[in-house]
Amino acid sequence: MELNFRDRAMLWTGEGYDVETRTRVKAMLNGDLKELEDAFYKNLEFGTGGLRGIMGVGTNRMNKYTVGMATQGLANYVRKSFPNDSVLKVAVSYDSRNNSAEFAKITAGVFAENGFQVYLFDNLRPVPELSFAIRHLGCQVGVMITASHNPKEYNGYKAYWQDGAQLTAPHDKNVIEEVLKITDPSMVRFGECPSANIHSMGEEVDRAYLNSVLSLALSPESVARHKDLKIVYTPLHGSGVRLVPRALRQIGFEKIYSVPEQEISDGNFPTVESPNPEVPSALAMAVEVAERVGADLVMATDPDADRVGIAVRDAEGKINLLNGNQTASLLTYYLLTRWHEQGRLNADTYMVKTIVTTELMKAIADRFGIQMYDVLTGFKYIAQIVRENEGKRVFIGGGEESYGFNIGEFVRDKDAVMTCAMVAECAAWAADQGLTLYGLLQRIYDEFGLYKESLISLTKKGKDGLEQIAQMMVDLRNDPPKELAGSKVVKILDYNRPEETGLPKSNVLRFFAEDGSVVSVRPSGTEPKIKFYFGVKGADADVKLQALMEQFNK
């Protein structure tokens, strides 16, 4: 019989748990029942992207026991998947979040005790370098301890397969099944860290990774001419602090300015409300530095350095923040223009975007005669297309609206390090033509039309919040909108029906109107949120966008 939350909590007061955990649970049993219920009403789910949750004691929390159980299940699955490999290897990295280093050591210890050769970074490193290291070292699997851009109370556990990408079918579901078999910490082979099976890695992998980033350069002459371009970069207390400035300098830029307070690795993220570069306030301190030194470009990366937010100066010299769609469109235009000029485009080259990302990317690709794949939200689906085409076609780059982009095939996740490098290079190339990045974006709009996008993200925390989100999706399916800001809905796509979309099943709805407006709705797979994505096109795009947001933000 399924245990209720009190019974689950009582189990955590037993001898199988350490004194600190038992003491905390006993206090919760005698305290706020709402807190107790939220911590124990279910097991923290190992989803298709791994674990992510609030840190603390409980079955529904990130702690050493839930991390250990997830690692044991993952190790069991890897061993089953590679029965003929005499040596099993795993790469492990972590970011600046509270407990990240501890969870990484627990992960390394469990793998080591299961007979794996473990390669553990000697300090925090970005997600993309972990993805790179898996392939560089010939590992079957990798783990990144991070909750990406979530609030400070969260941490997480991202699992990667041997191609350096996050898990997709069939591995995602199969790993979940193995993790579900680990029902008690006593089933986990907890090991010590350090161990003879655990190997420290650092500078050698850094150099190899950065050399690969440098190999992507398309306009070194432009960089040489504009090496004095003033760039402000902040890691927002995260793992980009080492490699982003180093990459920019190795490419040739000489005037890189920092935000000293935000170079301190601190999981409490003391200088920002949220360490998310999608949030304008996260870039506020960097913008202040830019105003003081007269910088042309501002860039900020999230704690695990897979997302980047940028700000640029407009024609009047005012600093403007770009959204993820605009950054992705700039990079798409730059990459395809330079590849075309270098004679590298052909029928075998392609790009990829997610279904909720701007259609401007596709319009640009169409102009150059390049295929633009559309995939489900999540960079693992972009990586899946790269894997399926490996050795047959050439991946130029791809991105998603949530500030993630990737170029080339040596990293299989979004990569803020290479994105920062390419954005800066694009700025130098634009300067050769007398343009800022803002001016280049206006040129793109002149050529392809004015595209505008926005996002409403509603947070619904706890058990009640998840139930509310589920009901909102039920209501939209049962009673879909007939108009989008006055324009008739002409098509509805329900991604729960793969036979209609040609893509894997996903809890996403998209509504298309006669005037080209698009609204996409999906619950987040990593946060307690439901997201509404809006896309419009045309001279009256601003008016349409405002009307759509008012329609759905009720």
Q: Answer whether residue 463 shows pLDDT above 80.
A: no
**pTM of the predicted model, to two decimals?**
0.93
Task: Please say if the pLDDT value at position 172 is more than 70.
Answer: yes
Q: CATH 3.30.310.50: which residues of the chain?
A: 451-552
Query: Which whole number is the average pLDDT over 184-190?
Result: 94
Question: Quick check: is 148 catalytic?
Answer: yes
| Mean of pLDDT values over 447-452 | 94
pLDDT band of residue 33 (cuts 50, 70, 90) is: confident
User: Quick one: pLDDT band at residue 280, thresholds 50, 70, 90?
Assistant: very high
Copy the structure tokens of residue 200: 């420290």
Instruction: Give CATH superfamily name and number for 209-448.
Output: Alpha-D-Glucose-1,6-Bisphosphate, subunit A, domain 3 (3.40.120.10)
Q: 401 pLDDT exceeds 50?
A: yes
Task: With H, G, I as helix, E, B as strand and everything else as coil, classify residue 9.
Answer: helix
Contact between 197 and 90 under an 8 Å Cβ cutoff? The reply is: no
Q: End-to-end CA distance of the chain: give it in Å, rounded.
A: 41
Residue corresponding to tokens 């996008």 = 453
Q: Give the E-state strand segments of 89-153 in sequence order.
A: 89-94, 117-121, 141-145
Q: DSSP assignment, residue 265?
A: -
78-130 tens-digit pLDDT? 999 999 999 999 999 999 999 999 999 999 999 999 999 999 999 999 999 99
The three-state secondary structure class of 435 is coil
| pLDDT averaged over every residue in the chain | 95
What pLDDT, on the 0 to 100 scale, is given for residue 525? Answer: 66
Residue 462 has pLDDT above 80, yes or no: no
CA distance 104 to 64: 10
Residue 1 has pLDDT above 70, yes or no: no
What would the DSSP string read from start to end of 211-236?
A: HHHHTT-S-HHHHHHTTT-EEEEE-T
CATH topology of domain 42-201: Alpha-D-Glucose-1,6-Bisphosphate; Chain A, domain 3 (3.40.120)
The predicted-structure confidence for 143-171, as pLDDT tens digits, reads as follows 999 999 889 999 999 999 999 999 988 99
207-257 pLDDT tens trace: 999 999 999 999 999 999 999 999 999 999 999 999 999 999 999 999 999
**CA–CA separation, 386 vs 503, rounded Å?**
16
The top-level CATH class assigned to 451-552 is alpha beta
Question: Residue 529: its pLDDT value, please?
Answer: 87
pLDDT grade for 45, boundaries at 50, 70 and 90: confident
- Which one of the listed residues 81, 100, 131, 148 is annotated catalytic? 148
458 alpha carbon, distance to own chain's centre = 19
CB atoms within 10 A of CB 7: 11
- Please tell me whether residue 160 adopts helix, strand or coil conformation: strand
Rg (CA), the chain: 23
For residue range 318-363, list pLDDT tens digits in order: 999 999 999 999 999 999 999 999 999 999 999 999 999 999 999 9
> Tokens in use for 430?
């634009």
- Measured distance CA(367)–CA(203) in Å, rounded: 42
Q: Which pLDDT score is estimated for 2?
A: 53
pLDDT of residue 526: 62
Residues of the chain with CATH 3.40.120.10: 42-201, 209-448
Give the per-residue pLDDT at 78. 98
